[in-house]
Every structure is written in structure tokens, then in C-alpha cells.
Amino acid sequence: MGLPGSNSGAILSKIATNNQHGENSEYFEGWKAYDKDPFHLSHNPHGIIQMGLAENQLCLDLIKDWIKENPEASICTLEGVHQFSDIANFQDYHGLKKFREAIAHFMGKARGGRVTFDPERVVMSGGATGANETIMFCLADPGDVFLIPSPYYAAFDRDLRWRTGVEIIPVPCSSSNNFRLTVEAVGWAYKKAQESNKKVKGLILTNPSNPLGTMLDKDTLKDLVRFVTKKNIHLVVDEIYAATVFSGDNFVSVAEVVNDVDISEVNVDLIHIVYSLSKDMGLPGFRVGIVYSYNDSVVSCARKMSSFGLVSSQTQLMLASMLSDERFVENFLMENSKRLGIRHEVFTTGLKKADITCLTSSGGLFVWMDLRHLLRDRNSFESEIELWRIIIHKVKLNVSPGSSFHCTEPGWFRVCFANMDDDTLRVALRRIQDFVSKNNNNKIVEKATDKDQVIQNNNAKKQKWRQSNLRLSFRRLYEDGLSSPGIMSPHSPLLRA
């Protein structure tokens, strides 16, 4: 008799066992390597430094100070325990009214006060992961297609399509124009999808971009709003990095564009925003995700679905108080932008000392690092994965290869810089500088182990398949023989979302 669950695939659902989760991508594989050997400045100084986590830890001290100064905001203190019964009891899935009012106000503040949001259109979800899936369930049926500019967030393959059955068709962007998205590129992808008899239901944008850190300008956003209106498809804009802008022009929300475009050129029922406090405030553990739609039917549907992933009432209570504190919010947003700008400057300057450049960016918690000159073969994704494995296992840095973000050009890497203290950042920069200096011919010639070589060969086949399908047939990615999800580390991003 076998062990219990040894034949689990025969008794589990197709959703539970399908290959759409993407757990075996290099993005998640880097996390698993870090989990096995995490860096600590004193306890494990030779461990892997986590630079694959887009987390904002630069202003957590401000939040801690506010909590100390406002103990009545929590039901777990003597000052706030009198609210325990009301908050601990069942809450309607509309959420606490004062929370929805506070989050709507904060969304406006995070966008420079140039736009306002209606609290009655705020729908809660379990983080941006839940919000993105919820909006997919509302807008599309299994097999329907959403267009999305690539490179795009690696976990979108999980968030948008794993359980919904929605398909993704990338809109390829390239370094030739600094990965700038154009309405012409979207139109080309839309036409190709139609020629393949795909039903396009919408376009998804991340603004500011993950992984690029760039922002869409108002004219481009206007063109895209006009495009979706003309084609009668949805526009979903993920704006979870709205308040991480640290240089350049102001962030432009699609909400501003909706107000600016002539009413005859925009169908507001097609416009939807995803938001969260995970990035702007550095609170991913609070699981605060928001769906904001201009479509009454979508708001109603998403609200019913939100019962599967509500924000706890205790969290709502505290955040309602915090986000209603005007002085705190204004100071936090200003200081957050300032500290991110300083950290970005320190990090990119350190990379320049190693002759490494990055795509010019003005937002986000990461840089899009150009290591094409270090590839053994500049046109090979196999070389990219080879370099990535050396960076993880030899340099001991968990960075994310561009191929895991569906970049069509090998040699780009996303590197996060806001999830660590200054001392750890210095160690990371020193490791990078030492690594590059030891490879003064700018080519990685170190031979991989036999085991690594087998893995690299498998990944090379995978990347070749992805690139071919991206350019030719636009079939869904990550369907090339990935195994079913395995057991996940308790620290894995698969659980953290």
C-alpha cells in the first residue's frame, strides 16, 4: 500500500493539477534557492541576498511610529479594546464604510490630489493578487484573451489565468525604444489575436511598470483609452506602484485620463483599476487589495466575489484611522518618494562602478538591469539562464531573469533594491562589483556542473519555445511540460502573493 496521497493526481481537480500556475519558472526558482540559504549580516553572511522581492521597507519606521502614537486604532490595546465586540463580529463584504472612505482618499493623495475616487466603487480583495483574479472572473470567460505588454510581472501567469482559464497574449516591447508601449503595438497584437480566432476581452497595463519601473505618459494613456473604446474591450490598469515614483514627471493615473478625454471617445464602463497597499506603503502582509471600476455591474459582481478574500475588519479599522490622518499621509508620501529616490541613486551608482547600466526609470522598487554584455551568447536565452544560475549560486544574489517576465531579448534582469537595509545593500553591490571585475573580458566562461548543465539545457529549450511562440503563434506561455505545483516553502511568494 502506498503512502496517503501518493496518487493524488488521480483524485484532485484539473485546476489543482494543471500546469498554469507557473511555480517552476525561474522567478519562483530563485525564491526557493533563497529560502534554503537566506543571507543574514551576522548569522549567515555568505548566504543568498534576496533581490527578487519587490517589497518596500524604507518607510516602515514611520508606520511603526504612528502605531505607537495612536494605540486606540487597534482593538489589541487597552486604548482600543472597547471596539473589540463590534470589529470581531461579522462584517458585511462591503467593508467598513470609514475604511472605504479612507482608502479612496488615500488613492487620490497617492496620485497627487489630481483625481478623486468614489468610496462606493471601492471593492476589497485579498491583496493585488486577489484583485487581479477577481477582475478577470468579472470580465472574461475561460478561453477569452487579454493583451498585456511584455515584459510583464512574472506572477501574472498565476494571478490572471491559473484559476480563471483566461489566456494572455503578450504585446512585445523592445529595447530599441526603451521598451516603450505604443498603441500601434497593441493594435498589431489585437489583429494577430483575431486572426488566430481568439476572443480579445481587454488590455491589461501596469503603471508604473513592473518590471521596468517606467511610467506611461498621458498622451499614450489617452490613445489606449480611445483604442479600447473603439474596439469595445476592457482596460484594466494595475496601479499598485502609484506612490513609488521618485523622479521625473508626475504619475498619471488612468482616472485622470478618464476625466480629460472627450466623453465621445471613452466608454467608462470599460475602465477598471487595481490597487493595493503592498507596494506604496510596504504592507503586503496586510493583504489589502482593491478593485475600482467605473462599471456599476462590475462593482456589484466584484463585491459579491470579495466574500472569498476580504480584508480583516481589524486591519480595516487600523488603516482607516491611519489613512485618515492627513498629516501622516502627506509626510509619508513625501518621505517615501524621497527615500526611494536616494536608494535608487545609491544602487544605480554602485552598478555603474561595475560598468552595469539600467533602463532609465522613475518609479517602482526595482531596476531593469542590462547584463547583455556578460552573456556568452548575446542572442541566447540559454546564456541568460547560465548567467542567472551563476549569479544565484556563485555571487549569491537572487535576481530575476528577463525571460521569466517574458522579455523577448536575453540579458535583462529585474533587481529589487528597497527590501533591505543599507548594510545589506552595500554587501550586494560589493558582490556584483567583485564578480564583474573577475570577468574582465565581459564574458562568462565558467563551466557549469553536469547537474546545472542539464537544467540549463532544459531551460534553453523552454526559452526557445517561449520566444518562438511569442513571436509567431501567441500560444499560452509556460505550457511546455511544467510539472504540477509541489510543496511550497512557508516563505514562498506563492503564498505571499
| Cβ 375 vs Cβ 384: under 8 Å | yes
- Nearest Cα to 99, choosing from 322, 340, 383, 432? 322
pLDDT in tens, 430-464: 999 999 988 765 455 444 444 444 444 554 444 44
Burial class of 142 by CB neighbour count within 10 A (0 to 12, 13 to 18, 19+): exposed
Task: Decide if 153 is catalytic.
Answer: yes
Distance CA 147, CA 190 (A): 7
Catalytic position from the list 153, 275, 292, 478: 153
CATH topology of domain 8-60+337-496: Aspartate Aminotransferase, domain 1 (3.90.1150)
Exactly one of 49, 148, 168, 240 is catalytic; name it: 240
H helices of 282-363, in order, are: 296-305, 313-323, 326-352
Q: What is the structure's pLDDT at 181?
A: 96
Contact in structure between 333 and 110 (CB atoms under 8 Å): yes
CB-CB contact of 191 with 136 (8 Å): no
Assess whether 238 carries a catalytic annotation. Answer: yes
| pLDDT tens for each residue of 306-336 | 888 888 888 888 999 999 999 999 999 999 9
Same CATH fold assignment for domains 8-60+337-496 and 89-328: no
* Catalytic residue status for 240: yes
To 10 degrees, what angle do helices 127-139 and 296-305 make? 120
Task: Output the pLDDT for position 9.
Answer: 55
Q: Which of 157, 159, 223, 238 is catalytic?
A: 238
428 phi-psi bin (left φ>0, alpha ψ -120 to 50, beta other): alpha
Helix (H) or strand (E) holding 358: strand 357-358
Is 279 considered catalytic here? yes
Res 437: pLDDT: 87
Q: Which of 38, 33, 60, 50 is nearest to 279 (CA)?
A: 60
Query: What would the grid cell of residue 327 be?
Result: 498629516
CA–CA gap between residue 204 and residue 94 (Å, rounded): 25
Q: What is the DSSP string of 28-87?
A: HHHHHHHHHSB-BTTTBTTSBEE-S-----TTHHHHHHHHHH-GGG-TTSTTTGGGHHHH
Q: What's the CA gap between 457 and 314, in Å, rounded?
A: 50
Q: Which of 32, 222, 279, 462 is catalytic?
A: 279
pLDDT at 150: 96
pLDDT of residue 37: 92
Sequence ranges of the domains in the chain: 8-60+337-496, 89-328
Spans in the chain with pLDDT lower than 70: 1-9, 22-24, 90, 440-497
Q: List the CATH code of the domain at 89-328.
A: 3.40.640.10
